[in-house]
Amino acid sequence: MLGRDVVERRIGELLGGEPCGGRALLVEGPIGVGRTTTLRLIADRAVERGYAVLSATGSRAERSVPLGVARQMVGPRSPDPVTGVPRAPDDRVLQFESVTADLLGRVGDHAGPLMFVLDDLQLADPESLELLLYLLRRVPPRSVVLVAAVQTPQSAAADSAAFLAEVSRTLRLDRLRLDRLSPDEVREHLAARLGGERVEELAHEAVALSGGSPLLLDALVEDLVHGAASGSERYARAVVAGVHRGGPVVTEVAAALAVLAETSAAADPSTGEVAQVAGVTREAAEAALVTLAEAGLPTGPGYPVTAARDAVLDRIGPARRADMHLAAAQVAREAGRPVSVVVEHLLAAGDRCRADVPWAVDALVEAADRAVLDQEPEHAARCLQVAWHHCPAGRESTPRGPARRRAVAGPAARVAAPARGGAPAGGGRPRRGGGGAAAGVARPDGGGRRAALRPRTGR
């Protein structure tokens, strides 16, 4: 909580003096700024002052589970004496009544003030929010404090917005905004952890990589404390954790940014291009980019740390990653970017091919011809190998199939010719790049199956 004087003051106002209730505090802020830490601090202080604290956390995975949050506050159910399994009524009305009775029982067992603590309010199930409102209307307001945290900048779900509106009718509702650390606060944190002599050496990089996010800054410092390069293992894990907390759409958009950053000439993509690669709407991509930026997570065309980029990509799996590269290749082609960028994405997609992209074959064949001239036969062979995957196999009736396979087989022969010491098709001087690496590139066999286009090793 370094540098959070305002937080300490607001906690003091909430719990200062004699224990009193009738108040609610909403802690707001982006991913990784310490909302959960703040709630835990408030809960610990409340226990010290004699409050009974009932805590729960909303979850994206359990938002569809009725009364899931409320059951966290109740605690484990007593097992059935016969089966040994915790008892729970099947009927939803009976479930509501049962959990309500359990909560009222816990409240009634404590003579002092009561505090409800609810983290990730935006992910709480609607039934639990309804039950909490039911309780707030039946417990004397001055004996109750409600503290909740919500992630921003995403708009609150309709259920949580309605919940807050109802709470404000019963309790005095205040808001506490948590933001990322300022550059001076980052320096203060570095000095406290690493010593003042290293602050100026590390401050600029720490501010740039963390964006002031306590989540990322702590990971950077841990890397340095353990002798790792800044922005390595722990930082990469923190980036992935932050992206995951943003939800599925944020994860897809972050992965799309990472895919677009994998090329050697990564350009600044537009929101529409990011949306196309991520497979989401433009509006969803725009909201996800704002969420990433507010959290200090990478949003530019190039990830500042390769380990973080690779860790984000590892979250989506090889097949999805290849599909994103195919989409990125199409985006690069439509945007008029160099053919080399298109080809890099196509090669990264590997054999995850599409038969409806004839331009992919053209780009790969052109890249293979250029690679031969530049004496890079292995690259030429790889381009032709991937180009062959984009040709429909075993379907001679396909109108474009035979023509496209001939378009690949011709250059394949030209790549192989210099390796055999022969002249290129059509006569003239042999092309440059006569290494043996491309000699394994072959034309399709007579049965119409895909031929092996494997470059030989050991150039």
Q: What is the pLDDT of residues 182-209, one digit of tens each?
A: 999 999 999 988 887 788 888 998 999 9
For residue 418, the model assigns a pLDDT of 53
Structure-model confidence comparison of residues 27 and 89, the more confident one: 27
User: What is the per-residue pLDDT across 263-321, written as a single tens digit (0 to 9) for each?
Assistant: 877 678 899 999 999 999 999 999 999 999 999 998 876 677 888 999 999 989 899 99
- Assess whether the previous peptide bond of 153 is cis (omega < 30° from 0): yes
For residue 456, the model assigns a pLDDT of 36
Position 322 pLDDT exceeds 90: yes
Amino acid identity, position 321 = R
Neighbours of 432 (CB within 10 A): 13
For residue 219, the model assigns a pLDDT of 93
| Contact predicate 25/9, CB 8 Å | no
5-177 under CATH 3.40.50.300, yes or no? yes
Q: How do the domains of the chain map onto residue ranges? A: 5-177, 183-339, 353-438
User: What is the per-residue pLDDT across 99-120, written as a single tens digit (0 to 9) for each?
Assistant: 878 887 777 666 788 899 999 9
Please give the share of the chain, as a percent, with pLDDT higher than 70: 76
Structure-model confidence comparison of residues 181 and 79, the more confident one: 181
- Per residue, what are the HEC states of the chain? CCCCHHHHHHHHHHHCCCCCCCEEEEEEECCCCCHHHHHHHHHHHHHHCCCEEEEEECCCCCCCCCCHHHHHHHCCCCECCCCCCECCCCCHHHHHHHHHHHHHHHHHCCCCCEEEEEECHHHCCHHHHHHHHHHHCCCCHHHEEEEEEEECCCCCCHHHHHHHHHHHHHCEEEEEECCCCCHHHHHHHHHHHHCHHHHHHHHHHHHHHHCCCHHHHHHHHHHHHCCCCCCCHHHHHHHHHHHHHCCHHHHHHHHHHHHHCCCCCCCCCCHHHHHHHHCCCHHHHHHHHHHHHHCCCCCCCCCCCHHHHHHHHHCCCHHHHHHHHHHHHHHHHHCCCCHHHHHHHHHHHCCCCCCCCHHHHHHHHHHHHHHHHCCCHHHHHHHHHHHHHCCCCCCCCCCCHHHHHHHHHHHHHHHHHHHCCCCCCCCCCCCCCCCHHHCCECCCCCCCCCCCECCCCCC
The β-bridge relationship of strands 144-151 and 114-119 is parallel
Which residues, 6+ apart, have CB-to-CB distance to 71 below 8 Å? 99
Position 454 pLDDT exceeds 50: no
User: What is the per-residue pLDDT across 232-276, written as a single tens digit (0 to 9) for each?
Assistant: 789 999 999 999 999 999 999 999 999 998 887 767 889 999 999
pTM metric for this prediction: 0.80
d(CA 155, CA 345) in angstroms, rounded, equals 35
- For residue 27, list its beta bridge partners: 149, 176
Report helix angle 158-170 to 126-136, nearest 10: 0
- Tokens 């203060």, located at residue: 188
Position 341 pLDDT exceeds 80: yes
Burial 39-65 (b: 16+ CB within 10 A, else e): bebbbebbeeeebbbbbbbbbeebbee
- State the number of CA atoms in the 13 A half-sphere of 307 facing the CB: 15
| Contact predicate 108/52, CB 8 Å | no
For residue 195, the model assigns a pLDDT of 83
Residue 408 in tokens: 């690949």
